[in-house]
Chain A
Amino acid sequence: MSIVTVQLGQCGNQIGYEVFNAICSDFHSAHGLCSKKENESYQEASKERFFSEEKTGVPVARAVLVDMEPKVISQTLSMAAKSGHWKYDHQSHFCQKQGSGNNWANGYSVHGPRYREVIMNLVQKEAEKCDRLSGFFTVMSLAGGTGSGMGAFVTQCLRDAFPTSFILNQVIWPYGTGEVIVQNYNSVLTLSHLYQSSDALLVHENDAIHKICAQLMNIKKISFRDVNQVIAHQLGSVFQPTYSSGGASRYSRSPLGDLMESLVPHPEFKMLGLRNIPQMSENSLAYSTFTWPGLIKHLRQMLIANAKMEEGIDWQVRPPLPGNPVPPKASPNKALHFNTSIANLVVLRGKDVQSVDLGGFKDPALYTSWLSPQDAFNVWKMPRAFNKYEKSATLVSNRKHCGESLEYVCFQSLCSPIH
């Protein structure tokens, strides 16, 4: 099934481009470590998901680009066209001359209603190109004006126009020391609106990704492009085709639907976090080997200790002993660090995925009392390697921790009753 991506604002458009680029370079990469037939069917499935075919054979991204000013979109379009491997539909974008000026209200209440029809027409056209529509994937930032304001508005419109389709919002959390001074207002307003209309919110924090770039990828001068490429890699590792958990070599059909099914058991909790290992610079990749038990052990501890990346994990944190569910007063420190999950999904790609033991994730102590591990934990597997990594594991989780950064933002914005 196909996913229609809606890219909003400068951030959304830049990340959207990198996502398509990552997916495209993944299915073009030769060393998939699997048979030719497998490789072909994988490419086929991936293409159907994100691209439509043009007569010339160049894949065209199933995407709608929206921004309130022209520079970013024209740059994105030309970058895609230059790559030669894929491109955007040259009609499937909408831009205006003047940006939203970091003003959420400007995006949501002024530009949104004014251009509703044009944008929804573009979306409709993209949706009609799909044989089977799985849902929508919107990419936006929380801080700016267009991404946050328009994004919240467009998500609502999508919900109205496609009541049965899934909507997943990728939101980018701004740097802690602001990119935009009014970012806390914008974030709170956006989240409160998205929470009503979206099915799930996938959160990436710029600060965390920046650290990954600096410490794991070893990049000296980090640009936004590097940050976006890491995000794109993480997203690609989730959304590229995987085998369904039931059958041996059948692809799971509806990526968004399956994701929601495994991760959003309760409509109140829909903030998702993403973790991915291994991640390192291309140079050191050639000299590194990984074992599945090692990767899984790290990934599990990252979940428990709430670490955003492989380095600097707190190995002291342990889940509470079984039969002794979170003693709230006995050890307040430990309890604070430990991170209860509502649901987890592990995506494994690469060599020998069928033999991996994931027992560590099935510990009931990791989860809430109202959901058993069988229901709260899911695995997707794909024996084809992803994006140059021989083995790659991604964890998507619905956890308690998301609430904390949310709390921080609310707190910050209450502190500054200005503007």
Chain B
Amino acid sequence: MEEGVVNEILQGPLRDVFDSKQLITDVSGSGNNWAVGHKLYGCQYREHIVEKLRRTAEHCDCLQCFFVIHSMGGGTGSGLGTFVLNVLEDEFPEVYRFVTSVYPSGEDDVITSPYNSVLAMKELNEHADCVLPIENESLFSIVSKIHQMTNSGKLGSTVKQNSLLTSSAGSIKTEQEKPFDAMNNIVANLLLNLTSSARFEGSLNMDLNEISMNLVPFPRLHYLVSSLTPLYTLADVNVPSRRLDQMFSDAFSKDHQLIQADPKHSLYLACALLVRGNVQVSDLRRNIERLKPSLHFVSWNQEGWKTGLCSIPPVGHSHSLLALANNTCVKPTFIELKDRFMKLYKKKAHLHHYLHVDGMEQSCFSEAISSLSDLIEEYSQLDATKDVPKTDPSRLKIAT
């Protein structure tokens, strides 16, 4: 809802990619206020948004899915972003809605970010098909790890050019890198890998619609933890299978997740592996067999693997892996969010900024927090089943 960023994109090197008619801006911004974004600008620009959406959609041969990319902490991203989500559901109920949400970190520059996030969470719970949560802290630690690796000198000379996960390989170079560019490129790579199977051929295709079909067992539990490996590729050409195996192990380690979470010690509901490049089905089988014992899967879905093989690797890499996990390890993130929300809400601090916006009432807050609590509760219940010894139901008898 302000012009600065959009104008910058339009003048940047990618200006030809975006249609200059397909943008909506205002001058004053949403002031870090979810209510302003969702209720005020939402109502004001609804017609506008619908028209622009429809115009773009009509250009599509086959509309598979909408990507909504927004932050949870601010005003426009969380408020208007979730409003757009509602509009999409009303106007295109058949088309999947994938949301990439950037969650605020603990020491955030926006005081009201817990309010904004929790209010937005309620909308995500109800209106998204899949949410890929991302935390800035995790992105930051991945970026600094890559820097450390490349600058330590040990590997420096052998790292292949353009193969850093953070480099904008293949794109038009800007003159100077901005601080968030490296982090944003990780998210960009996530989306590129996600759509790779729709763009390139492979021996086991995996379309976007298969993701929610396979990974979302219950409609509300649609938060998928993602991890990307490898972070960089070494320059030597032949890939020992040990390094390939390392890629699979990394994808399940704590350091490579895009949110602060540890999937290995939590419960998996389902897991998808999207592999790109020179990887065959036998590599996939071997690694699944190898990793399976160290992972906890929910009792009714012990074999919950979904796999995709795409033959074209990302620019600069020989192979890559995107792991998506429906895992209870997202729970701590949500609990932390709830705690920070409650701290402010108990004192009713900053509440008046929200309440003076038309259509915003205090019940919105209580509904949002109870929606979040329900979600946490659902994950806790699943977690509780983890340690219960499995009772095998008696085997089915089939008359032969």
Contact = CB atoms under 8 A, between A and B. Distances in A.
Interface in A360-419: 400, 403, 406-407, 410-412, 414-419
Contacts of B204: 10, 179, 224
A10 B205 contact: yes
B36 to A, nearest CB: 37
A416 B301 contact: yes
B61 to A, nearest CB: 6
B342 interface: no
A181 B214 CA distance: 5
B306 A221 contact: no
Interface string B271-282: 000000000111
Given A223-B203, A225-B203, A418-B218, A179 B306 contact: yes
Contact of A419 (B210, B217, B307): B217
Interface string A79-108: 000000000000000001111011100000
B108 interface: no
Interface in B101-118: none
A49 interface: no
B304 interface: yes
Given A99-B210, A182-B213, A14 B203 contact: yes
A418 to B, nearest CB: 4
A412 B215 CA distance: 17
Interface in B38-89: 61-62, 64
Interface residues of A, number: 46
A319 to B, nearest CB: 18
Interface stretch (A69-77, A117-125, A154-162): A69-77
A221 B210 contact: no
A210 B282 CA distance: 8
B362 to A, nearest CB: 37
Interface stretch (B142-150, B185-193, B366-374, B391-399): B391-399
Contacts of A213: 282
A78 to B, nearest CB: 11
A81 to B, nearest CB: 16
Contacts of B393: 414-415
Interface centre among A96, A213, A219, A411 (most CB of B within 10 A): A411
Nearest to A414: B396
Nearest to B397: A407
B181 interface: no
Nearest to B394: A411
A72 B305 CA distance: 23
Contacts of B300: 415-418
Interface in B268-305: 270, 280-283, 285, 288-289, 292, 300-301, 303-305
B207 A407 contact: no
Contacts of B309: 224
A102 B215 CA distance: 11
Interface string A273-317: 000000000000000000000000000000000000000000000
A325 interface: no
Nearest to B208: A101
Interface string A51-76: 00000000000000000010110010
Interface string A204-247: 00000010011000011111110100000000000000000000
Contacts of B11: none
B289 A102 contact: no
Contacts of A101: 207, 209-210, 213
A69 B202 CA distance: 13
A181 B396 contact: no
Contacts of B306: 178-181
Contacts of B288: 177
Given A400-B400, A414-B396, A416-B301, A177 B61 contact: no
Nearest to B300: A416
Given A177-B303, A210-B282, A415-B300, A75 B201 contact: yes
B233 to A, nearest CB: 19
A179 B205 contact: no
A400 B393 CA distance: 24
Contacts of A97: 61-62
Given A102-B214, A177-B292, A411-B395, A210 B209 contact: no
Contacts of A417: 300
Nearest to A400: B400
A195 interface: no
Given A176-B303, A400-B400, A223 B281 contact: yes
Nearest to B283: A221
A411 B396 CA distance: 6
Interface string B357-396: 0000000000000000000000000000000000001011
Nearest to A412: B303
Contacts of B207: 69, 98-99, 101
Contact of B305 (A178, A219, A227): A178
Interface string A157-179: 00000000000000000011111
Chain A to chain B: the 5 pairs with minimum beta-carbon distance, closest first:
A97-B62, A101-B209, A222-B282, A181-B214, A223-B280
27 contacts: A10-B204, A14-B203, A69-B205, A96-B62, A98-B64, A175-B285, A177-B289, A177-B305, A178-B305, A178-B307, A179-B204, A179-B307, A181-B214, A181-B304, A182-B214, A213-B282, A219-B282, A221-B282, A222-B282, A223-B281, A223-B282, A224-B280, A406-B398, A411-B396, A414-B396, A415-B300, A419-B216
